[in-house]
Chain A
């Protein structure tokens, strides 16, 4: 079974440009998460979806970040416009509804804003 698939693996963009990350979760996992991980720190939750509903987006910087999960499966995280401080690894994870032990993470997208 394929794990959580993320693309692209790496992305380098100039500041003020838009960027999008894509995530395909484990089949059947209702819950999907986007995390951001700065260098030397643990992942920080940006948004959590239960099926297609965003149930926790309190940490998402809504002035420039947006996310969607169409049909409750794949998800896209967008930044527009990107800033230098957005350089980080963006991780997607999925889990079966109502569990904290079954998180499966993707390998992440490493974003560099120059």
Chain B
């Protein structure tokens, strides 16, 4: 898997946008970027994925730089329920195995 680098932790104010960065400078041209999150005492949950274009769904937006070496997950209006560990994962293109790093612990504060 392409190595990913994420900040260890970040805080966010409730109602504000949370921007979570991820570096993946060794990503190959056909490898996707996936984001999962894990709320305390639950299993990880899929959020979004993308290849090169920006993606948006009901949970979040994913912005991938033109050179694809980094991406940003955006939670547009963070709520207390968004407090979780967020994982940025780039699996090999011929494999669908998810390898989790330590992720970013996001704390949303009232």
Contacts and interface: CB of A to CB of B under 8 A. Distances in A.
Contacts of A106: 43
Contacts of A99: 96
A93 interface: yes
Tell me the interface secondary structure of chain B in the complex.
Answer: loop
In the complex, which of the residues B45, B98, B99 has the most CB atoms of chain A within 10 Å of its own CB atom? Answer: B98
A105 B44 contact: yes
Q: How large is the interface on A (under 10, 10 to 19, 20 to 34, 35 or more residues)?
A: 20 to 34
A53 interface: no
In the complex, which of the residues A35, A45, A100, A108 has the most CB atoms of chain B within 10 Å of its own CB atom? Answer: A100
A100 B42 contact: no
A91 interface: yes
A43 interface: yes
B97 interface: yes
Nearest to A31: B96
In the complex, which of the residues A4, A42, A98, A108 has the most CB atoms of chain B within 10 Å of its own CB atom? Answer: A42
Contacts of A41: 102
Contacts of B101: 42
B43 A45 contact: no
A95 interface: yes
A101 to B, nearest CB: 5
B43 A100 contact: no
Interface string A32-57: 01010000111111001000000010
A45 B42 CA distance: 17
In the complex, which of the residues A44, A101, A104, A107 has the most CB atoms of chain B within 10 Å of its own CB atom? Answer: A101
A45 B97 contact: yes
Interface of B: 32, 34, 36, 41-46, 49, 85, 87, 89, 91, 96-103
8 contacts: A42-B103, A100-B32, A100-B91, A100-B97, A101-B34, A102-B46, A105-B45, A108-B43
